[in-house]
């Protein structure tokens, strides 16, 4: 076994310090409000994926909890934005994406964005005016399709659940 030289010992100490800093650092830090960014995607569940929503969730103050808000930015798409195709023609429906924030089992806030035959860019905040003492720890996103025809049924894709960690969404 070779002895550890002072140069090697210093290099190992520096490497250990860098690794600890990388593991312990929050994803993004805003002054005193650390934020965890996470990508999201949800669709209408049909074969043509006529409706979809995608973008980024920013869970504010993940640790320690200070403000229960989640910033959400992205797009909601209603296809066909360009007239459709033979396999996926325009079905005469529009798309609504629902964004719901929860603190435990308590629904803290919800908002929706609607688009018909196009792509809508949006920014919204869930829970900014919440009276909950707990931060939002779960966001559920669901995309639905509605018809202009009276008494025509709507349909929705599976709700996608996001929690403030870098894992994949839970369905």
For residue 10, tell me if it sits in a domain: no
Buried-exposed string 14-51: b where 16+ CB fall within 10 A, e elsewhere: eeeeeeeeeeeeeeeeeeeebbbebebebbbbbeeebb
Total domains, the chain = 1
For residue 13, tell me if it sits in a domain: no
CATH number for the domain including 150? 2.60.40
pLDDT in tens, 48-106: 889 999 999 998 865 555 566 899 999 999 986 555 677 888 888 999 999 999 988 99
Compute the average pLDDT of residues 6-10.
43
For residue 64, tell me if it sits in a domain: yes
For residue 49, tell me if it sits in a domain: yes
How big is the chain, counted in residues? 171
Mean pLDDT of the chain: 77
For residue 109, tell me if it sits in a domain: yes
For residue 107, tell me if it sits in a domain: yes
Q: Where in the sequence is the domain holding 81, given as residue range(s)?
A: 29-162
What phi and psi, each to the nearest 5 degrees, are found at residue 17? -65, -40
Return the top range by mean pLDDT from 11-15, 33-37, 71-75: 71-75
Secondary structure (3-state) at 70: strand
Q: Find the range with the poorest average confidence among 25-29, 92-96, 131-135.
A: 25-29
Q: How far is 66 from 52, CA to CA, in rounded Å?
A: 32
Residue pair 52/42 in contact by the 8 Å Cβ criterion: yes
For residue 9, tell me if it sits in a domain: no
């Amino acid at each position: 076994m070779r002895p550890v030289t002072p140069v090697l010992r210093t290099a190992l100490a520096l490497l250990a310090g860098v690794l600890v800093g990388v593991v312990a650092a929050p994803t993004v830090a805003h002054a005193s409000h650390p934020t965890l960014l996470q990508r999201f995607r949800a669709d209408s569940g049909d074969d043509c994926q006529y409706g979809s929503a995608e973008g980024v969730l920013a869970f504010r103050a993940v640790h320690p909890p200070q403000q229960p808000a989640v910033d959400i930015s992205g797009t909601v798409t209603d296809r066909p934005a360009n007239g459709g195709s033979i396999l996926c023609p325009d079905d005469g429906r529009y798309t609504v994406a629902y964004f719901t924030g929860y603190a435990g089992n308590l629904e803290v806030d919800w908002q929706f964005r609607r688009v018909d035959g196009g792509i809508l860019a949006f920014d919204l905040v869930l829970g900014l005016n919440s009276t909950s003492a707990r931060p939002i720890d779960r966001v559920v996103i669901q995309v639905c399709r509605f018809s202009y025809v009276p008494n025509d049924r709507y349909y929705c894709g599976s709700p996608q659940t996001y929690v403030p960690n870098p894992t994949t969404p839970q369905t």
